[in-house]
Chain A
């Protein structure tokens, strides 16, 4: 009984996906960059063939996964329905199809709906498309929960989806997509934004790791400092980012007025200097908290027995304490990195560049595609960082073998 209920998630998700592609626009076409788009339903966007195929796949997932739920039939002995032996395999295949068709579908949509006479018209995915993507992703997560080798499988599906997009982009099939148009016209600034975003995040990570390490060492050696250091770091973390960035402007510009050589280093009231200071200030809390917790939680028994074996302090630290503490410390890095990626976007307000620039420019010009061009890479960066650091933490988990 309990088992059959747990299968209600996938049917519900596929139902939600069906409803959203049926009821919402799958895409829209704009005559140019600024005017509002004209919405297209699934049928008019993809043509009846692909639209039917897409709906049928969703329906198939719904039916495949609701068989064990039809317990009424089973109870009445009208039918003895069991989950099909291969229902999971089929569901995976259907989902892979749904994910892989997305770029091709969009290309097809642009091809059939943008008239030759309008070279500046651009196509954009609509709410139906985004929700389909979202629900497909959720279905994938749910399917993966009960699958062996799920990490490799997930990686495989993710990579093949990316490959499909890359292929369509390379072939130029997506050129009339609004976001691609926007990117093509901003190629230079985009590279620059990526560079400055990564530089600032990287610099923050490096500096806060150094400073955080120092603070952690201080706390571990002088326990009495612990509560006041954490009170201070907590306090810093509470201050809204935009306020901290702004409050640093006046003192820094005063400083650089006083000492012109600072200006030659690029240290001014606005720009990377106040941003970096604020970013490091925010990063210290997750960094120091995770490092101290990680190092303090290594059990006294383990340390004692290591000492009893005759390890000296340095050996003790590098061979016992650090390896045991590493995953939690990496988790600190993960939090810091994700937080820094988001805050760097805000720092664009004080002139640091980065993807935040596109967002705020786009907001200023009411150019939605430019906003997306800033927001989507930020989300992607955060996701990639999350994935990499989580994988690293898992890899360095002590006492777990990797094969």
Chain B
């Protein structure tokens, strides 16, 4: 009951996602509207791929990358906060904060010489860039837990695994989630630029519109990407409110 009541804020992302769905499926029908922007061009609706295909493609890239960053980044954060890995903590922390100063476009650009054009390079670039906030927040979250709580968990006879899953991760969840949220925001934006390295994303209409001087395409792509980013952010915000506060 308490859980359900806390799900209240979910209406906001639901509404935004519904709007996104509506746009994706109906944008193609609003030709007359876009003609206003681009009166002299023959074609005003981007049609090389359907918007829904591009949306799924975009989401798949982002999802794959963020899940990958979460798994790798959280494992790293967990490892360096154990006694055995503690020696690596300062280095990993410093590396993650330095990594965050590298602009995401540069990471995307550097992925191409290594991995070539296309989806794999984009996913790997997003994944690597997404690691930094997750590692940093993971470490901060796990280290921010009250020492007395951990001591009494051990004192009660919880095993290391039980402490990790039942105490540490739930208590760090909010901070970790904030890291995932940052990663996702970056991934959505960078995936759009991924169009320039040959990934098929919602960036395609924008790039194609910029190249051909077709503002209607540009607006279609930008609207969908903007809405996607905002809906997912609202979703994270709802999940964050739903997580019990621990302070």
Binding site for B on A (CB under 8 A): 5-9, 127, 138, 141-142, 145, 235, 237-244, 246-247, 249-250, 253, 269-270, 338, 341-343, 345-346, 349-350, 356, 359-360, 362-364, 366, 368, 371-372, 374-375, 378-379, 382-383, 385-386
Stretch in contact with the other chain, from B68-76, B96-104, B158-166: B96-104
Q: Which residues of B contact A269 (CB under 8 A)?
A: 215
Known: A239-B226, A241-B189, A270-B210. 13 other contacts (CB 8 A): A5-B87, A6-B86, A235-B230, A238-B230, A240-B226, A246-B222, A359-B105, A359-B109, A371-B109, A375-B105, A375-B106, A382-B101, A386-B98
- Contact of B105 with A356 in the complex, beta carbons under 8 Å: yes
Q: Which of A145, A342, A366 contacts B90 (CB 8 A)?
A: A145
Question: Which of B146-154, B171-179, B190-198 sits within the interface?
Answer: B190-198
Task: With A379-B106, A382-B102 as known contacts, state yes or no: A246 contacts B113, CB within 8 Å.
Answer: no
Whole-angstrom distance between the Cβ of B190 and the nearest chain A Cβ: 8
Nearest A residue to B197 by beta-carbon distance? Answer: A363
B206 in contact with A243 (CB, 8 Å): yes
**Is there an interface contact between B91 and A250, defined as CB atoms closer than 8 Å?**
no
Q: Contacts A240-B188, A359-B105: A6 and B87 contacting too (C-beta < 8 A)? A: yes
Q: Is the CB of B113 within 8 A of A250?
A: no
Decide if B192 touches A240 in the complex (CB within 8 Å): yes
Size bracket of the B interface:
35 or more
Most buried by B among A5, A7, A238, A356: A238
Contacts of B37 in A (CB 8 A): 250
Using Cβ atoms and an 8 Å threshold, which residues of chain A touch B207?
A: 349
B110 touches A375 (CB 8 A): yes
A250 and B105 contact, CB distance less than 8 A: no
- B222 near A242 with CB under 8 A, answer yes
Contact B87 A141 (CB under 8 A): no
Residue positions of B touching A, CB distance < 8 A: 37, 84, 86-88, 90-91, 94-95, 98, 101-106, 109-110, 112-114, 117, 185, 188-189, 192-193, 196-197, 203, 206-207, 209-210, 215, 218-219, 221-223, 225-226, 229-230, 233
Contacts of B98 in A (CB 8 A): 383, 386
Instruction: Check A246 against B229 for contact (C-beta < 8 Å).
Output: no
Give the one of A5, A237, A359, A368 with max B CB within 10 A. Answer: A359
A379–B102 touching, CB < 8 Å: yes
Cα distance A350–B117 in the bound complex, in angstroms? 22
A257 shortest CB reach to chain B, Å: 12
Determine the chain A residues whose CB is within 8 A of the CB of B206 once the complex forms: 242-243, 246, 349
Cα–Cα, bound, A8→B192 (Å): 41
Decide yes or no: A242 and B230 within 8 Å by CB, A247-B222, A342-B103 being known contacts: no
Chain A residue with Cβ nearest B230 = A238
> Contact at B226–A243, with CB atoms within 8 Å?
yes
Looking at the complex, which one of B94, B218, B221 makes contact with A141 (CB distance below 8 Å)? B94
* B202 CB to nearest A CB, Å: 9
A243 near B196 with CB under 8 A, answer: no
B110 and A138 within 8 A (CB): no
| Contacting pair A250 B101 (CB below 8 A) | no
